[in-house]
Homo-oligomer: A and B are copies of this chain.
Amino acid sequence: MTVVGIEGVLSSGLKRVQAEIDSVFDAFLPVPNDTRARLVEAMRYATIGGGKRVRPLLVVSTAELYGVDRTAALRAGAAVEAIHAYSLIHDDLPCMDDDDLRHGKPTLHKTFDEATAVLAGDALHALAFEILADTETSSDPFVRSELIATLGTASGMNGMAGGQIMDMVADEEGVEYDLHSITRLQQLKTGALLAASVEMGAILGKVPPEGRAHLRAYSRDIGLAFQIADDLLDVTGDQEKAGKALRKDDEQGKQTFVTLMGVDKAREQARVLVDQAVGHLANHGAEADLLRELARFIVERDR
């Protein structure tokens, strides 16, 4: 990827979506004038002003290919981001990964408390579906229902939660996964939500399932590339820039793409996947440039 690319279309695309997603959450999360204020403050802490917003940008950029109204795409993007944020809150809990730092600031249970963190995660999980079921997100009930089915699957036992337990069981029971199993684990843990983001953009665009095959291929490739990049970041990254604890995989003796393949081969594999991903967009013109740049950003990022 050229520096021009990142500084140009992608950088402005990310900045724009970051500000827009902040606004959507701000609108959905007015602080109530009662004792629920603590919960909503916690939900705002976890969703406003943090995160790269890769998933919302995937939703919006895919939706844009099909001329979808931007407000609708941003709402769907916020729903995906709410799921992402809830999963980070719960993953950071002491009984899970016990992390102190997220997006460069203390994790939610450090700033508030554990009980509030559990509840804020739960409430963001529900918020995602509330947003998608809202007629203002789409006036077409079929679209709403498809968005919800897609996000529900990506979040549950056959998606993120399933990948997370596979990861946990490996840590606790010393299960040794091979590359095939690690790939499967990561497809669930990370890939499912990235793929859902692209899928939701296509659903908003009313692209029939048979017209989504190239987008699914794209998101499968960037999903794997994203996780390889994450594993590389854990080994070679700068903790300050990453805004979260690094070197954790090695400390925990965890199997990752990097431990299984080595740094060089992992980096090479990530690049191959990104080229493949970009290849799947060959039938789109310049309107898919953001998706192309995003694929490259995913492996080049430093956080």
Contact = CB atoms under 8 A, between A and B. Distances in A.
Contact of A38 (B144, B155, B156, B169): B169
A96 B126 CA distance: 19
What class of interface size applies to chain A in its complex with B?
Answer: 35 or more
B35 A169 contact: yes
A97 to B, nearest CB: 9
A215 interface: no
A122 B161 contact: yes
A134 B153 CA distance: 10
Contacts of A278: none
A106 interface: no
A189 B174 CA distance: 40
Contacts of A157: 36, 39-40, 43, 123, 126-127
Main secondary structure of the interface of A (DSSP, over half): helix
A84 interface: no
A164 B119 contact: yes
Interface string A157-172: 1010110111011100
Interface of A: 32, 34-36, 38-40, 43, 86-87, 90, 93, 95-96, 113-116, 118-119, 121-123, 125-127, 129-130, 132-134, 140-142, 144-146, 148-149, 151-153, 155-157, 159, 161-162, 164-166, 168-170, 175, 181, 184
